[in-house]
Structure 1
Amino acid sequence: MTYITPALRRQVEQRANDRCEYCLLPADVTFFPDEVDHVIAVKHGGATNSDNLAFACWRCNRYKGTDLGSFAPQTRAFSFLFNPHTQKWDKHFLIEDCRITGLTPEGRTTVRLLQLNNDERIAERQRLLG
């Protein structure tokens, strides 16, 4: 496991506005603390610096793991996952009725792999909207 200093962790949190950079869930409503994710995992040569670290809720981080991509649901062609530092969230995703829709191969692959629309996650978003 790679050590992330408290100062670097806070920098990542602040840059993300204390929200998961994958599903946008605010950190202050999660049961488990949010985590710092290596966008490109160390085992794939990713560095432990702010350019390669994302703030992630525990669910997104668990489902993502060390994956860099998967097969796009529509085309079955390999697609990289959404990268919160090189891509804009709203170009790849849309939220409607508490569901996140992928607009691009990266978005659709991320939605599927991170299970952004499983029943628990949709219910979580519904509770936030009250």
Structure 2
Amino acid sequence: MANKYVSKKNKDFIRKLAHGCCEYCQSQEAYSTQNFSMEHIIPTHLDGSNEIDNLALSCQGCNNIKFTKIGLTDETTDEFIPFFHPRQDIWIEHFKWNDDFTLIIPLTKKGEVTLKVLKMNREQVVNWRTAVLSVGKHPPLHTIVD
């Protein structure tokens, strides 16, 4: 099992890659009441590394819900569907905003599974989006498609 220590250099780099946002629900750390975590996309107990290609910035809600999960098995097809992978996937290819930018809509099966399991539209996050939107700080620009 890998050591869970993540260097400050890697943490800073991931924060920049993430634009200071949870790489799942897109909450912004600057307007959060809690610091975000360096989340191991593939958990260390499943041989995930502490390297940049396996780290994501995650709010406490998404991180706590995801915990050590990496995907979900579709009950009807028995197919394993991995979660959105922030280092391998592009957010706007798997998700989009609804018309008022308060809800995330999945565009792919991977997006659908990630949204459902991580509860990316949980009430508290939707309330946060509404409040931050009212002062012009939401949605993050990197999540908008022209």
Structure 1 residue ranges (4+ consecutive) displaced by more than 3 angstroms after TM superposition: 71-77
For residue 115 of structure 1, what is the amino acid of its counterpart? K
Aligned-partner SS, 2:49: coil
Alignment match, 1:102: 106
Q: Which residue of 2 aligns with 1:7?
A: 9
For residue 78 of structure 1, report the CA deviation from its aligned partner.
2.8
Change (3 A) 1:72 1:109: farther
Q: Which has the larger radius of gyration?
A: 2
Q: Deviations over 1:42-65 (max 9, x none)?
A: 011101101110111111111111
Identity of aligned residues (%): 28
* Cα deviation 1:50-105 (Å, max 9, x = unaligned): 11101111111111111110145997743110001111101100111311111111
TM-score by length of 2: 0.82
1:1-130 counterparts in 2 under 5 A? 2-72=4-74, 77-96=79-98, 97=100, 98-130=102-134
Report which stretch shifted further, 38-47 or 68-77: 68-77
User: What are the ranges of 5 or more consecutive residues in structure 1 without an aligned counterpart?
Assistant: none
Contact conserved, 2:22 with 2:58, CA < 8 A, in 1? yes
Structure 2: tracts of 5 or more residues without a match:
135-146
Report the Cα distance in structure 2 between the residues aligned to 1:37 and 1:27, rounded to whole angstroms: 14
* Normalised TM-score (structure 1): 0.92
